[in-house]
Chains A and B, each alone.
Chain A
Amino acid sequence: MNDLPVQTQPIAGAMPAFQGAIEPDRLRNLCETARAGNARLVALWGSDETARGGGYALHVALARPAGLLWLSVALEREQPSYPGISDIYPAADRMQRATYDLLGIVARDSPDQRKWLRHEAWPEGVFPLRKDFDIASRFARSDDHYPFVRVEGEGVHEIPVGPVHAGTIEPGHFRFSVVGEKILRLEERLGYKHKGIEKRFETMTLQEGAKLAGRVSGDSTVAYAWAWAMAVEGATGAEPTTRALVLRGILLELERIANHLGDLGYLGNDVSLSFGFFQFWRLKEDLLRLNAEHFGHRYLMDVVLPGGVARDLPRLEGDRLLERLAAIEAEVRTLRAIYDEHAGTQDRFITTGQVLPELAEKMSLTGFAARASGIRHDLRADYPVPPWQQVEVRVASDHRGDVAARVSVRFDELFESMRLVRTLVHQLPPGELRIPVAECPGGRRGIGWIEGWRGEILFALETADANRIHRAHPHDPSWQNWPLLERAVLGNIVPDFPLINKSFNLSYSGPDL
């Protein structure tokens, strides 16, 4: 970690992570050096340190080959600010704006100073994540004016969509500027689901936090719960058994399979191949029932806990699980052949919603969507800590960056996850399911960093006295990927938007917090 001009110390925990502190005026220079060295921006958030005698702090997490670097920048108590970095890392823009809305920390010289998470729930000048803000505060609805960027010209018109959508999906607003049917610009406005998750964490103990962590984004409950557990275990020095880690690996891959099955069904549906929806959702339902049978919950909520896991998979059950998974896998192979040879489907998939590798790299695209645009990053392979150490995750990849590529990568990852579950079930060593987690003093840090089905999920944790939480920041990969959706749709026709959108299937709840 010493190729960057910053002193670092390791952060205890399962994933390789380091921390370092720098002065605000060195932030930009350091980010520029990091960017030139291909460090990826994982997250940016803030914290209130006034109760500990400081001011505020800005935190930036960067991914480097050696591991995660958690940079902290101490800021003044009065009018805290730092030089913005959204020109260096464009993905930082919305994170900076959210950090202002929640903490009043200003990103200086950043071109976009519009609000992001604050709509009408609280007024300008009030900052919910400050320590002197009471979580039970209620404000009269404030004015919610938001200046969208207008596109002007002959024949250009706007289509506003949402927050309540036509389908069964999460709420968000999309403002299309179109000419004829062609999309000239898409501007997203999110934050509708902001429900005070980060503030809520600060009212909880580390143990209570597990349940909330598993509900930051319900479709990624295993990934979030594991990231939370990993952060808590790092902070408290708990080391779960290999059996528990292997079981977590199985759970995470089952979650990946379930989500890809569901989305592959909807991708068929969105090109009028309703056959695809019914077939894939039949298989998804089979899998959800398997989950319920073996682990007690269809989506595997509350199975991963700090210290280990709540449910075991005895030998015979494991064999039965594999048998039933093999049946699903065989069906998916048939369905892939049908998708591949269906001319109408391929016609809609190919070249639609393209994100080329160069743009993907510039904008910090992450997860399977990045792998479909030629960026071969996957935490399971990049940092092969247990249980990934012995299974050698094969990273799926495609360079085309269109809907077809994202579909292809999803199929490949689904089959790879099937292989991983098989290997992990066969490897299950004996051991305790859950070890006790020690009481945690204040001032400890923990990092949870997990490759969820959508992309990398980060939990940055700082403890408070008596097992409580000073600051917990869950970071969803959708922060990085939403801005790429705005770019992917350019030049496409409006009716292809649902298809392109579904090919990414980004979370609203995760980044709205």
Chain B
Amino acid sequence: MYRLLKQIARTGIITEPAPHADQALRQIEQRLGDVILRHFGRSLAIRHVDAGSCNGCELEIHAANGSHYNLERLGIKFVASPRHADMLLVTGPVSRNMEEALRRTYDAVPEPKLVVAIGDCGCDGGIFGENYASCGRVANVIPVDVAVPGCPPEPSAIIQGILTAVTASRT
């Protein structure tokens, strides 16, 4: 136990400043009012859905929860059920085998809700594109508020996308 505590003390706090919102990532007009945004901005519950990714974007979402980025300090946390969520964070081209599961997950999120698509595949289908087994970009299946490009986007870009979604368009 002594060693463990010593390691924590030795490591110290390594968290870096958070990125700012970037309205260029926005796909559609902000649908939420200021009051809701104020609340979301301080306590946002996210449900992640991998709709068919290569697992690359997942690695960066995990990294965003690590000490360098420390997503939770911004009041943002991942929850286990869409029914507890304010936002869906969706990766991958949507495989046709996940299309229905993604729709049902979206329907299970209570209003008001937001969707952020992560990665080149989420933005435009990426290298997999649209085919017999892939629906392509996330917006082909559910409405998307903000899309974050990258293969995979770095953790700070993912956080930026999330923050953009909970920021008023007009600033």
Residues of A at the B interface (CB closer than 8 Å) are 119-122, 128, 133-139, 141, 163-164, 166-171, 191-197, 199-200, 211-212, 215-219, 221, 262, 275, 277-279, 281-282, 284-285, 288, 298-299, 301, 334-335, 337-338, 341-342, 507-509, 512
Closest to A282 in B: B67
CB nearest to A197 among chain B residues? B128
Most chain B Cβ neighbours within 10 Å, of A171, A281, A337: A171
Number of A-B pairs whose CB atoms are under 8 Å?
Answer: 165
Contacts of B53 in A (CB 8 A): 170, 193, 218, 509
B interface secondary structure, majority: mixed
Question: A266: nearest residue on chain B (CB-CB)?
Answer: B62
Interchain CB contact (< 8 A) of B58 among A122, A141, A169: A169
Q: A219 contacts which of B3, B59, B63, B100 (Cβ < 8 Å)? A: B59
A200–B92 Cα distance when bound, in Å, is 16
Q: How far is the CA of A335 from the CA of B8 in the complex (A)?
A: 11
Q: Jot down 12 A-B pairs with beta carbons below 8 A, ordered by A.
A: A120-B97, A121-B95, A136-B131, A170-B58, A194-B97, A195-B52, A196-B134, A197-B128, A200-B129, A215-B128, A278-B67, A301-B56
Q: Which of A120, A167, A288 has a CB less than 8 Å from the CB of B100?
A: A120
Say which size band chain B's interface belongs to: 35 or more
Query: Which residues in B have their C-beta under 8 angstroms from that of A262?
Result: 59, 62
Q: Which of A191, A215, A338, A342 contacts B54 (CB 8 A)?
A: A215
**In contact, A342 and B132 (Cβ under 8 angstroms):** no
Residues of A within 8 A of B130 (CB): 136
Contact A121 B132 (CB under 8 A): yes
Determine the distance from Cα of A121 to Cα of B129 in the docked complex, in whole angstroms: 15
Q: Check B128 against A195 for contact (C-beta < 8 Å).
A: yes
Instruction: Across the interface, name the chain B residue whose C-beta is closest to A285.
Output: B68
Contact partner of A170 (CB less than 8 A), chosen from B11, B50, B134, is B50
Q: Which of A163, A199, A217, A338 contacts B132 (CB 8 A)?
A: A199
Q: Are A221 and B134 in contact (CB under 8 A)?
A: no
Q: B73 → chain A, closest Cβ, in Å?
A: 13
B residues within 8 A CB of A217?
A: 54-55
Contact call B131/A284, Cβ cutoff below 8 A? no
Q: Tell me the smallest distance from the CB of B167 to a CB of chain A, in Å.
A: 23
Closest B residue by C-beta to A122: B132
- CB of B56 within 8 A of CB of A299, answer yes
7 new A-B contacts, CB < 8 A, other than A212-B127, A285-B63, A299-B56, are: A136-B131, A170-B53, A195-B128, A197-B128, A218-B58, A298-B60, A338-B3
CB-contacts of B33-66 with A (<8 A) = 48-63, 65-66
Complex Cα distance, B126 from A194, in Å, reads 15
CB-CB under 8 A from A164, the residues of chain B are: 49, 82, 101, 105
Which A residues are in CB contact (< 8 Å) with B58? 168-170, 218
Q: In the docked arrangement, what's the CA distance between A341 and B134, Å?
A: 48
| Residue pair B56, A282 in contact (C-beta under 8 Å) | no
Specify which chain A residues have a CB less than 8 angstroms from the CB of B65 in the assembled complex: 281
B contact residues around A170 at 8 Å (CB): 50, 53, 55, 58
Considering the complex, give the chain B residue whose CB is closest to the CB of A212: B127
| Least CB separation from A224: chain B residue | B54
Residue in chain B with minimal CB distance to A275:
B4
Q: In whole angstroms, what is the CA distance A487 to B123 when docked?
A: 39
Whether B3 pairs with A121 at a CB distance below 8 angstroms is no
Partner of A199, one of B93, B126, B131: B131
Quick one: which of B55, B60, B65, B154 has the most chain A CB within 10 A? B55
- A166/B56 in contact, CB under 8 A: no
Complex Cα spacing A164 to B80, Å: 10
Chain B window 127-165, contacts with chain A (Cβ cutoff 8 Å), 1 for yes, 0 for no = 111111110000000000000000110100000000000
Cβ of B133 to closest chain A Cβ, rounded Å: 4
- Give the CA-CA distance A166 to B131 in the complex, in Å: 28
Whether A279 contacts B7 by the Cβ 8 Å rule is yes
Residues in B with CB closer than 8 Å to A278 are: 66-67
Complex CA–CA separation, A257 to B10 (angstroms):
23
A167 to B77, CA, bound (A): 11
A200 CB contacts on chain B under 8 angstroms:
127-129, 131
Contact A282 B133 (CB under 8 A): no
CB neighbours (8 Å) of B52 from chain A are 171, 192-193, 195, 509
Indicate which residue in B66, B80, B127, B152 contacts A284 across the interface (CB closer than 8 Å). Answer: B66
Say whether A282 contacts B66, CB under 8 Å: yes
Complex contacts, A298 vs chain B, CB 8 Å: 60, 154
- Chain B residues near A301 (CB-CB < 8 A): 56, 151
Contact of A192 with B131 in the complex, beta carbons under 8 Å = no
Q: Using A128-B133, A170-B53 as known contacts, say yes or no to A192 and B95 having CB atoms under 8 A apart.
A: yes
